[in-house]
Amino acid sequence: MSLAAFASQLERLAFTPQRLGKERLLARAFTENPDPERGLMLAALTGDLKLRQVTPSLLRGLTEMRADAQLFAYSYDFVGDLAETISLIWPEGSRSDPPLSEVVHELATTAKTRLPSLITARLDSLGPSERYAYLKLATGALRVGVSARLARSAFATWANLPLTEVEEIWHALSPPYLDLFAWVAGAPRPEAATRAPFRPVMLSTATDLDQLSALNPADYAAEWKWDGIRIQAVSDGGTRRLYSRTGEDISAAFPDVVELMAFDGTLDGELLIRRGDEIAPFGDLQQRLNRKTVTPAMLRSHPAGLRLYDVLIWNGQDLRDQTYDARRAVLAQAIAPLYPRIDLSPELPFATWDALADLRLNPPATVIEGVMIKRRDSPYLAGRVKGPWFKWKRDPHLIDAVLMYAQRGHGKRSGYYSDFTFGVWNGDELVPVGKAYFGFTDAELKDLDRFVRNNTMERFGSVRSVARTKVVEVAFEGLNRSPRHKSGVAMRFPRINRIRDDKPAAEADHLSTLQALLGSA
């Protein structure tokens, strides 16, 4: 696969809205391209390529040396996508079409000091479409409507393999997946699969009281849904790793948790910041995520721990085909010596769905997002299997806020203002309290974009300040104190719930409303 063919594939994927259509495009690429090109394409889409970090500031600097800086600034403001802007504005030069493998090798191995000259030379020798694909590879920002799971699903369908079997071994493999494609052609199952450190997690589906009423509550167990991040804790042969639910190794950010993992097995649970018996808000946990190292001061002020839900493997025995009740009994006994920083999520006593509904409405802590409901006889099944596990989240908080700023989106939204900052009243002043870029329909997005263009007051690069007249209803899951924000608060998962053209800006909510929510936390 050449870079031009890769660029063409990205364009087709971006403009094919249907999932099945994207899977067919990928299947054709797996068939028509040789190794290692097809494996590198798959790795690019799943986010598994490990390339040198190419920053937007580096690319902007290179472009300003090749093109008029003011024209570039205006163009970027209009287009909204850095890679697309550079690919169009970069001066034309000689044309080449290198193999994808050559480009990936360069970006993976070139010393940081030589990256600017490498990137400049490549951009000089590529056409606009190839430049765009090259820049997306270099920045790791492939947004073509293909998730990592969709890419793996497309491979499994093409290979005539169960998706669960592919995901079972995925994290033991590495690009360009030569042994994986050889397996499809008749070679033995990849040997690395026997050493897969991470196993696909079991996911839940959303539910409500109406759906639950058709089920027998005696067949289900329930527990709180904690506001942390789902993890898989693996300790095998002396090697300890902590993974996110997608298989990302986050051990380096949580050495205090890794140190506690004195067991032999694979456990499923929630990563939380724990101070004594208290579970801290998600904002405290967020301060430790994505760190390569953690200072002793951070370890003391933000001590992490695990609240466990399930066990997949224990002392070399795979328990996933056993029932939930059987696995939980093993888990309760196994982790008893690890208490209190690692403990078992308690089950909730309930005899009817109405009783569980009452518990859900009155949780003992504000960091609880709702309840999890699990069928007692269910095995541990990879993926989001409808039926065995449910999540019944709390109803979101709602406030009315005023749009203050808007920023252009990226990818398919690069032609629209789609990232909105909104605020509430603090006396006679509006103070920002959050930012949202989803929740609205396509029609509402066009309406909001039109409002921004017709009501711009000031411009700050790709950001516009707008007239304080548009009210939106904002839904959010929780609230944290935040000294980094002028308002002193930060929202958890904010989204625009609806546009309130019926409400004047003066009647939007006040900061005291949010402060009252914090006060009850």
Locus of tokens 């694909």: 133
Strands (E), 147-303: 202-203, 205-206, 220-226, 229-236, 239-244, 265-275, 278-279
Q: Crossing angle of helices 3-14/19-32, nearest 10°?
A: 160
Locus of tokens 């997002």: 369
Q: What is the DSSP string of 231-245?
A: EEEEEETTEEEEEET
- The Cα 313–Cα 224 span in angstroms is 23
Amino acid at 150: L
Residue 296, CA distances (Å) to 170, 220, 254, 283, 355 in order: 34, 42, 12, 19, 44
- The Cα 272–Cα 70 span in angstroms is 47
Nearest CA to 382 out of 147, 168, 148, 154 is that of: 168
282 φ, ψ to 5°? -60, -30
Locus of tokens 């007239």: 467
Long-range contacts of 167-174 (CB under 8 A, 24+ apart): 167/200, 167/382, 167/383, 168/193, 168/196, 168/199, 168/200, 168/382, 169/193, 169/196, 170/196, 170/200, 170/247, 171/196, 171/197, 171/198, 171/243, 171/247, 172/196, 172/197, 174/48
Residues annotated as catalytic are 225
**What would you report as the CA-atom Rg of the chain, rounded to the nearest whole angstrom?**
25
Helices (H), 335-469: 353-361, 442-454
